[in-house]
Structure 1
Amino acid sequence: MAQQTITPELRRWIIEQATAGFTPDVVLASMVASGWSESVAMKALDTTLREHLRTQSAAKAVAAAPTASGAAPAQVGVPVPDLDLSRSPRQIDAGDRMVDVIATLNHPRVVVLGNLLSAEECDALMEAARPQLARSLTVETKTGGEELNPDRTSSGMFFTRGQIPEVARIEARIARLVGWPVENGEGFQVLRYHPGAEYKPHYDYFDPAEPGTPTILRRGGQRVATLVMYLNEPARGGGTTFPDVGFEVAPVRGNAVFFSYDRPHPSTRTLHGGAPVIEGEKWVATKWLREREFV
């Protein structure tokens, strides 16, 4: 097959389809049916729509439409945090340290980072969190509260923003790295997983169809990105998995995985989970970013 080129004409066509109300899944299927390879089509969609959202006052670029499977319609896309990888850097300046770029995916938008945290910062977060650990809860979107969930078998706690110097320093680093205000972030959640503990695949956004979601959104709007930071290394198991794309990130001390989602819909392909720890224990710190200031 001859090499396929993403031309200005193709970009204009993609924008026309999105503006007309077709979801990315529908546009992708149309491109593949017309002879485009799936990888080129996905790249063209991702780069074109991201740039369009940034430069065309955003949200109306991608309209909602029912999927072929009859799933709930995709929501309107919104601007999201992101890293500037336009020049394919090996490292990014995060202000007080250089952070390594290890791997990237475009759809879902996933970036694996190395050297985000120092060993001393990892130790400080674990030691400060240890006395406050309790069985992890999940957000209950039917009511807007919290609940025990059998899919989540870790123990954890929350820091408030800037609660200790290490948290404040890392929050400022993340804000610079992904171009998103510190105040739009939830407090760190630190989690510890013993052998056998896991978090089964789930989405981090709040389901718009659930009755408790409006209450949750009053605190800062939807979640639009997640950063999972690894504070130690289990001997076996405990990776962060993305089942929709067959991708797994190994838990390496000081490293992190960032992923964003511009709408609360499975079309973002951000289904993810914490694989069971097989040997040792796993500690992570999770940072969720919201559309607006989180209060």
Structure 2
Amino acid sequence: MPQQVTAELRRWIVEQARAGRGAEAIVQSMQASGWDEAVAMAALEDVLRGHLDEQARAQGLPPARAVPAPDLAESPLYLDGGDRRVAVLGAMAAPRIVLLGSLLSDAECEALIAAARPRLARSLTVATRTGGQEVNADRTSRGMFFRRGESELVARLEARIARLVHWPVERGEGLQVLHYEPGAEYKPHYDYFDPDASGTPSILRRGGQRVATLVMYLSEPEQGGGTLFPDVFLEVAPKRGNAVFFSYERPHPSTRTLHGGAPVLAGEKWIATKWLREREFN
């Protein structure tokens, strides 16, 4: 018989979360009571998402949006990327963060770096006051953008990403490649566009809000350069070929997706970033 998620179980999960118990401990308790691990994890994620939505409505937060997501319902060790098998190295439910292994091959990493290198310029950030772009002292890398589908390599990686996170290629911005030399960093920030900023409406006309980010590591610095998530005390090591995916269902700090690129202390770091929008990006 399939295991049913009852109202009593939902209340218990919410009580455990309010008491400060982590997701792993809650799932282990459910398993000890006879629950299948995959069912327990899916129930936990569903209940916590619903609980957070109720809290958000009570606090007057922006409504939640549908977001991209790898299918982790059955706790897979690998995901089907179409032309490549991608490892699942770790996952967090709230915020939704998924660590992916071997998303790119060494040859693909080298090819992206080689194609991007001649086009590098000082990295800019979106200026939500005006809807344009600007130099930001918090971001000291150099970078460039590929047009969506610009080359066979770019198109292949975009198709792989779309398959992994179940989000159409058309809803992705162009792939950005960034280069960080020693001392370069990107201080903690959010990737969604501030809904209260005057320039945001013009930005949203091109495809709506950003709803997810994928950071892919193309090289390995000798020291430093990790991706930090200060709200949840997580640091992702910049291992070549690996990636970190995270989504944010509303443009608000309650998503706990504050993140940044730690300073490179030795060597250099190359990454590729893919931002996903709620609608077709053009």
Q: Which TM class, normalised by the smaller chain length?
A: 0.7 to 0.9
TM-score, structure 2 length as denominator? 0.86
- In structure 2, runs of 5+ residues without a counterpart are 28-40
2:216 matches 1:229:
yes
Post-superposition offset of 1:13: 5.8
- The match for 1:258 among 233, 245, 248 is 245
CA deviation string 1:236-260 (max 9, x = no partner): 0000000001000000110000000
- The match for 1:39 among 22, 27, 31 is 22
Equivalent residue, structure 2, for 1:284: 271
Query: Is the contact between residue 225 and residue 261 of structure 1 (CA under 8 Å) also seen in structure 2?
Result: yes
TM-score, structure 1 length as denominator? 0.83
Q: CA RMSD in A?
A: 2.4
Q: Quick one: distance in 1 between partners of 2:220 and 2:121? A: 21
Equivalent residue, structure 1, for 2:180: 193
Name the SS for the 1:100 alignment partner: strand
Name the SS for the 1:128 alignment partner: helix
2:57 matches 1:64:
yes
Name the SS for the 1:175 alignment partner: helix
Cα 1:217/1:45, change in 2 over 3 Å: farther
Post-superposition offset of 1:8: 1.5
Identity of aligned residues (%): 63
Q: Quick one: distance in 1 between partners of 2:146 and 2:55? A: 36
Cα 1:245/1:100, change in 2 over 3 Å: same
- In structure 1, runs of 5+ residues without a counterpart are 1-5, 15-26, 54-59, 67-72
Equivalent residue, structure 1, for 2:130: 143
Post-superposition offset of 1:78: 1.1
Post-superposition offset of 1:93: 1.1
Q: Quick one: distance in 2 between partners of 1:294 and 1:11? A: 41
Q: Quick one: distance in 2 between partners of 1:277 and 1:241? A: 12
Cα 1:183/1:11, change in 2 over 3 Å: farther
Name the SS for the 1:224 alignment partner: strand
Equivalent residue, structure 1, for 2:7: 9
Aligned length: 262
- The match for 1:102 among 89, 107, 129 is 89
2:112 matches 1:125:
yes
Name the SS for the 2:179 alignment partner: strand
Give, as a single letter, the amino acid of the residue that structure 2 aligns with 1:194.
E
CA deviation string 1:53-100 (max 9, x = no partner): 9xxxxxx8775343xxxxxx4211111000111111111111001000
Query: Is the contact between residue 11 and residue 48 of structure 1 (CA under 8 Å) also seen in structure 2?
Result: no
CA deviation string 1:5-51 (max 9, x = no partner): x952146669xxxxxxxxxxxx96xx369x7443258976632265x
Residues 174-253 of structure 1 aligned to structure 2 (within 5 Å)? 174-253=161-240
Query: Is the contact between residue 62 and residue 77 of structure 1 (CA under 8 Å) also seen in structure 2?
Result: no
Q: Quick one: distance in 1 between partners of 2:79 and 2:262? A: 28
CA deviation string 1:259-290 (max 9, x = no partner): 00000001100000000000000000000000
Q: Quick one: distance in 1 between partners of 2:110 and 2:203? A: 32
Name the SS for the 1:38 alignment partner: coil
